[in-house]
Amino acid sequence: MKMLANCGKSQNFARSRPLWPLVAGPAAPSIADMSTAVFSPAPSDTELSARFRPVFEEIAKGATERERERRLPFAEVELLLEAGYTRLRVPQEFGGLGASLPQLFRLNIELAEAESNLPQALRVHTGFVEDLRLDTDPQRREHWLRKAGEGAIFGNGITEPGAGFHDRYQTTLSQDGAHWRLDGEKFYSTGSLFADHILVAAQRGDERVGVLVDADQPGVSQQDDWDGFGQRLTASGTSRYAGVQVAADRVFEGGYGTPGKGHQAALLQLVQLSVLAGIAKRAVADIVAVTQQRTRTYNHALADLPKDDPLVQQVIGRGEGAAFAARATVLAVAELLGEILDRLNAGEDVPPQAYDEAELAAAKAQSSVIPLVLRSVTDLFEVGGASLTRSGAALDRHWRNARTISLHNPVIYKEQRVGANLLVGEAPPYAWTVGERNLPADKGALQ
């Protein structure tokens, strides 16, 4: 596919902006003042809406044009930074807003409604901030949370072409004098062109580790070469690491995920489902806007104008119901996960069955939200015929984006795990447990 001229790493989004301080005062409705509001003790839903909805409305204005031109939303990421979106879950003592997890996901759905690529581009940032909140190293926790509170974005270099969880990473971390050396290539490096720092999964001997590198370090290069038919503005694609020097304190033990049960897999999956919920809502809004202005109909229609046709009204009503149900499902799982994270952040123990409940809830949400949204963004085209497929309005982006985002962690496996849990009490697997299974010497089928 044609590459964007401005997407090479040498022209990456510069982080030359000032770091925004937080000062006392209520949330302001103007975008220019969004970065200055602080909440005590924690923001309310009303305050967060006043802060971010004007930003989302501004972002939504250019969504169709960006899609047609394949223009990455660098300016829109800047708007989110200025408003403090990437600091939502950073504790206030470190410069963040201290929002709850359900509040984050309510806003994530609204952001996805405005531009579905953005919450996905920030997906690993979202997960990494949660991991930092729980880091057992107090100095590292404070250092990186303060960086996040100053506006730093974390991207990812996790997945490799052709490699699964049962394979060793080809990306390696090797000793190089007093430092470590990172070498390798990743794909699906979603959001990293917007990032200040990139979390890279690597192999150090027989163990997997996470390595945090600066996006502008020598030896780091990135391309916007994602060639999927949907979610094309997430700054996903290839990232390469050639002799990148890594200090010892930038190496995180455990690699991608922590062994055992945890919250991470469900959290990252819920980000994808929140994107689907936002797409469903935007698709309805766009079809409503088209239908209200449409005068052409068919000789067998039930009204002279499409907006007065009861069948058209029924299709749109069903689509709105699907968006409502998708949102409610995502927020129900967010409540479960929020309770777990609140307990963990308070230093309390979380029983294994609580993790299983959250993991299974995310799987059940996949099983319901994905087919519901895919059907809705398909059926909505029934209200206008072939003219709705014209490229100018880019309405096809809703189906393409929904279909693409729905394929992360295919739902067929999650449905099987839910069934196995109900029938024989089998606990759900977690993102890192697949790689712990024993393999035959030829790396054939998983045992």
> What's the pLDDT tens digit per position in 379-435?
999 998 888 888 888 899 999 999 999 998 889 999 999 999 999 999 998 865 544
Q: According to DSSP H, which parts of 134-263 are helical?
A: 138-149
pLDDT for 281 equals 98
Give the amino acid at 92: Q
pLDDT for 208 equals 87
pLDDT of 445 strictly over 70: no
Contact present, 346 and 379 (Cβ < 8 Å): no
Give the pLDDT band (50/70/90) at residue 39.
Answer: low
Contact present, 208 and 159 (Cβ < 8 Å): no
pLDDT for 24 equals 29
Contact present, 95 and 29 (Cβ < 8 Å): no
pLDDT for 367 equals 97
Tokens of 356: 């299983």
Give the pLDDT band (50/70/90) at residue 441.
Answer: very low
SS3 state at 284:
helix
State which of 58-72, 290-304, 425-439 shows the largest mean pLDDT. Answer: 58-72
pLDDT for 163 equals 67
List domains and CATH numbers for the chain: 45-153 (1.10.540.10), 172-253 (2.40.110.10), 263-424 (1.20.140.10)
Measured CA to CA, the distance from residue 124 to residue 159 in angstroms comes to 12
- Where is pLDDT greater, at 164 or 305? 305
Nearest to 421 by CA among 413, 409, 431, 433: 413
Residue 95 gets which letter from DSSP? Answer: T
- Counting Cα atoms < 13 Å in the Cβ hemisphere of 35 gives 16
Instruction: Give the strand pairing for 154-157 and 197-204.
Output: parallel
pLDDT for 257 equals 53
pLDDT for 408 equals 87
* pTM of the model as a whole: 0.88
pLDDT of 444 strictly over 60: no
SS3 state at 428:
coil
pLDDT of 84 strictly over 90: yes
SS3 state at 13:
coil
- Percentage of the chain beyond pLDDT 70 is 85
- Percentage of the chain beyond pLDDT 90 is 74
Q: Which residue has the tokens 């009861």?
A: 310
